[in-house]
Structure 1
Amino acid sequence: MAPFRALMALDVEGFSRTSSRHQKFLNTLVKDVLAEAFARSGLARVWEGASFPQHTGDGYVVGVPSEYLPLLVHPLLDRLQEAVADVQPEVAYRDRSLHLRVRAAIGVGPLPDTGGAEFGDGVGTAMTETHRLLDAPSLKKALAASDPEITFVVAGLTARAYEDAVLGGYTPLTPRHFREIEVSHPAKGYRASARLYVPRPSAGPVPPTAPAARRGAVVFEAVRDV
């Protein structure tokens, strides 16, 4: 069996709607903020020795030994929120209409890892599940429903990552920190359960005509299963 690897994948919100002039900038910046989050989590050496690191066009993916899975959940996701928040002035200086917000997905499972000696490192079910979670409409809605000046990161954990790291008691986070979401890709015949975690939750803008009693519920409605 291939060695177990924990995975973290990131996607930049609205990347395809960003001008070509800014896409290279954001593509580089997303790697930089992820590296900074690893460093702030005390995982600089883990980052330096990461498995199959690669840009994905609008994001980045990296693998680490599975024993680090709980640390990817906490404290790394919270440190990622902080790192992305810290670069907002740099992003705004480049273009005031530009924002950097990311979706993150964490998975775990057996994946080939020859250190780049052979083609196909990182290819396997765990990688596929992680990227399908990353592209899930429910995860995208969770980010879109939050305040773009407060919430810079939303994260999804595959069922296996959640069971191993959170239900296994290996993080200080409890199940109450998470919300169940559905990963649904009908065209691919794929459906799975996952868990949503938002390091710094917020409610998105609410139309002024919306009844006051409903305003606090908007963000929760937006992340219902699709």
Structure 2
Amino acid sequence: MAETSRRARRTSLTMPPQRAVLALDAEGFSRTPSRHQGILNTTVRDVLAEAFDRAGLADLWRDCSFPQHTGDGYVVGVPSEYLPLLVHPLMDELHGVLTDTQPHLAFEDRGLWLRLRAAIGLGPLPDSGGVRPGDGVGSAMTETHRLLDAAPLKAALADSDPEITLLVVGLTARAHEDAVLGGYTALSPRAFRDIEVSHPAKGYRATGHLYVPRPSARPRAAATGNAAHEGDATGAARPAARRPDPGTVVFEAVRDV
């Protein structure tokens, strides 16, 4: 029997390191006037960096993998052992930073708002530090983006009070199992709700897990009147252009893969 040539043999490969990936997307970005999109683009990264700092993770932010602006959002990867810290305290700190940032946006324009959707996933993802193409490309990144764009995640933000809930968070099934059910976060599993991630056109369906750092219900007046929200074809709601009452702190951060 002829010996199989080396070229024809199948060989096993080492996997890239396991990384946790965090993706953010800004609500209603395409409906924001062009002159304000640059402000929000920069602000998304700034609020994320500040949240890492407040959570005591400044070094992790500085050394993160494949950081990338996505126009209306941002994406970063970190070593898998930090996955629980992305879930908590980082997401709660991010909500706090968004709250503190809104008055500065209102100073630019009283109708300028920043509310975020976030998705967190886990899996083997390459990172050459930009030396080779393909950093961050893999199933974990795709799953995270599918979750970020899921209808239940968008609805959770649209159906909440825009002056209270500024951030909603989705975890992939694996991220939830390892970090939350594994007991590594300070959050109870009861803080999460199962959601269906379905993209029929892409032949994709999965289970995700929703966490809202500061839950609320959309005001009834906002749902029926024109004083608080302006809807669009996607069903997402946008806060009306109005200035917050004095002393009131008000306040989505990736690509379609």
Relative to the length of structure 2, the TM-score reads 0.80
Measured against aligned partners, the alpha-carbon deviations of 1:12-41 in whole angstroms (never above 9, x if no partner) come to 000010011011110100000000000011
From 105, 116, 124, the counterpart of 1:110: 124
Q: Which residue does 1:218 correspond to in 2?
A: none
State how far apart, in whole Å, the 1-side matches of 2:70 and 2:43 are: 13
> Does residue 99 of structure 2 align to residue 53 of structure 1?
no
From 16, 26, 31, the counterpart of 2:45: 31
State how far apart, in whole Å, the 2-side matches of 1:134 and 1:64 are: 18
From 20, 27, 38, the counterpart of 1:13: 27
State how far apart, in whole Å, the 1-side matches of 2:60 and 2:206 are: 29
Against the structure 1 CA distance between its residues 21 and 179, is the aligned structure 2 distance closer, same or farther, given a 3 Å change threshold? Answer: same
Against the structure 1 CA distance between its residues 137 and 3, is the aligned structure 2 distance closer, same or farther, given a 3 Å change threshold? Answer: same
Structure 1: gaps (5+ residues):
211-221
Residues 167-206 of structure 1 mapped to structure 2, 5 A cutoff: 167-206=181-220
Q: Which residue does 2:252 correspond to in 1?
A: none
State the percentage of identical aligned residues: 72
Measured against aligned partners, the alpha-carbon deviations of 1:49-103 in whole angstroms (never above 9, x if no partner) come to 0000000111000000000000000000000000010000011111111110000
Tell me by how many angstroms 1:142 deviates.
Answer: 0.2
State how far apart, in whole Å, the 1-side matches of 2:47 and 2:63 are: 17
> Does residue 174 of structure 2 align to residue 154 of structure 1?
no
Tell me by how many angstroms 1:138 deviates.
Answer: 0.6
Q: Which residue does 1:3 correspond to in 2?
A: 17
Structure 2: gaps (5+ residues):
1-14, 225-235, 237-257
From 125, 132, 150, the counterpart of 2:139: 125
Residues 137-152 of structure 1 mapped to structure 2, 5 A cutoff: 137-152=151-166
Relative to the length of structure 1, the TM-score reads 0.91
Q: Which residue does 1:79 correspond to in 2?
A: 93
RMSD over aligned Cα, in angstroms?
1.5
State how far apart, in whole Å, the 1-side matches of 2:188 and 2:65 are: 28
> For structure 1, which segment, 157-166 or 110-119, has the greater mean C-alpha deviation from structure 2 after superposition?
110-119
Q: Which residue does 1:216 correspond to in 2?
A: none
Against the structure 1 CA distance between its residues 118 and 189, is the aligned structure 2 distance closer, same or farther, given a 3 Å change threshold? Answer: same
State how far apart, in whole Å, the 1-side matches of 2:53 and 2:207 are: 31
Tell me by how many angstroms 1:111 deviates.
Answer: 0.5
State how far apart, in whole Å, the 2-side matches of 1:20 and 1:4 are: 38
Tell me by how many angstroms 1:132 deviates.
Answer: 0.6
2:220 aligned counterpart, secondary structure: coil
State how far apart, in whole Å, the 2-side matches of 1:107 and 1:162 are: 9
Relative contact order, higher structure (CA 8 A, sep 6+): 2
Higher helix share: 1
State how far apart, in whole Å, the 1-side matches of 2:32 and 2:223 are: 31
Q: Which residue does 2:179 correspond to in 1?
A: 165
Against the structure 1 CA distance between its residues 140 and 116, is the aligned structure 2 distance closer, same or farther, given a 3 Å change threshold? Answer: same
Q: How many residues align?
A: 211
State how far apart, in whole Å, the 1-side matches of 2:95 and 2:130 are: 30
Question: Which of structure 1's runs of 4+ aligned residues deviate more than 4 A?
Answer: 207-210
